[in-house]
């Protein structure tokens, strides 16, 4: 997970107030910006970086898919009908990356790790839980991600679970099978296909209050999304994410 921001220091202050994240850095970026690694109790949870001069126009959260070979994965994206937004570049010693876009316009990152493999805390309060592809063309997106990553799509009401055969990730107590790597939702009403990111939180109402107190905005107030209560929020620069409270007792 990474958010690109016009002012990464201000963004880190916002997420410190919301999730109690600390930041290590800054490290340099190829175009002269700053890169911070957000941490929760000393473990990596996300990247917070300066918006590049070209390629990405506004503050946003980006989901990265880990790959063995960056160039091969980029070629698969293009062959399957996608395009390159940010060509492969080095971010050593952490790794190498590219930003690409699927045929329907949803952008995401590709990450070939070196020293830094990715998030070290997941599926727990104040950490990332799931990324969701919202799309107007579910069959087309299913074919694209099958061709690029080998993901199988398992239908459910309104969308699909993307599952990677043989993969065991996440945590044993998570509410979906451990080979699930993402979710796709069919939504004809959206203006453009996009990936959204979701973070868990202990107390949703208190978190929503922190969002507004620290200059963010509530896009959708808390609503039921069993087994969660969820809200859609934006940070002060406009990067949108969802925050979710897992209701273990169903209430």
- Domains contained in the chain, CATH given: 2-113 (3.10.180.10), 128-246 (3.10.180.10)
4: β partners: 49, 60
CA distance 90 to 27: 13
* pLDDT at residue number 36: 94
* pLDDT at residue number 195: 96
Helices 138-149, 70-79: inter-axial angle, 10-degree rounding: 150
- Note the pTM of the prediction, 2 decimals: 0.90
Which residues of the chain are under the pLDDT cut of 50?
none
According to DSSP, the β-strands at 2-5 and 60-62 are antiparallel
* pLDDT at residue number 155: 93
* pLDDT at residue number 14: 98
């Amino acid at each position: 997970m990474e958010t690109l921001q016009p002012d990464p220091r201000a963004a880190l202050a916002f997420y410190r107030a919301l999730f109690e994240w600390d930041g290590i850095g800054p490290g340099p970026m190829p175009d002269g910006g700053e890169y911070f690694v957000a941490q929760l109790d000393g473990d990596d949870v996300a990247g917070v970086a300066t918006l590049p001069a070209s390629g990405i126009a506004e503050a946003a959260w980006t989901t990265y898919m880990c790959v063995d070979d960056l160039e091969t994965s980029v070629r698969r994206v293009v062959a399957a009908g996608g395009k390159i937004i940010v060509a492969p570049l080095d971010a050593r010693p952490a790794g190498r990356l590219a930003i690409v876009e699927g045929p329907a316009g949803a952008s995401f990152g590709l990450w070939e790790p070196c020293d830094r493999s990715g998030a070290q805390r997941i599926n727990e309060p104040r950490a990332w839980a799931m990324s969701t592809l919202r799309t107007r063309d579910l069959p087309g997106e299913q074919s694209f991600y099958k061709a690029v990553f080998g993901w199988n799509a398992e239908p459910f009401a309104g969308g699909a679970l993307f599952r990677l055969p043989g993969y065991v990730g996440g945590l044993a107590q998570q509410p979906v099978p451990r080979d699930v790597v993402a979710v796709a939702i069919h939504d004809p009403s959206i203006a453009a296909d996009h990936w959204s990111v979701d973070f868990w939180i202990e107390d949703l109402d208190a978190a929503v209050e922190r969002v507004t107190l620290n200059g963010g905005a509530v896009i959708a107030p808390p609503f039921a999304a069993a087994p969660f209560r969820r809200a859609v929020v934006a940070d002060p620069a406009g990067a949108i994410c969802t925050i979710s409270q897992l209701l273990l007792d169903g209430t």
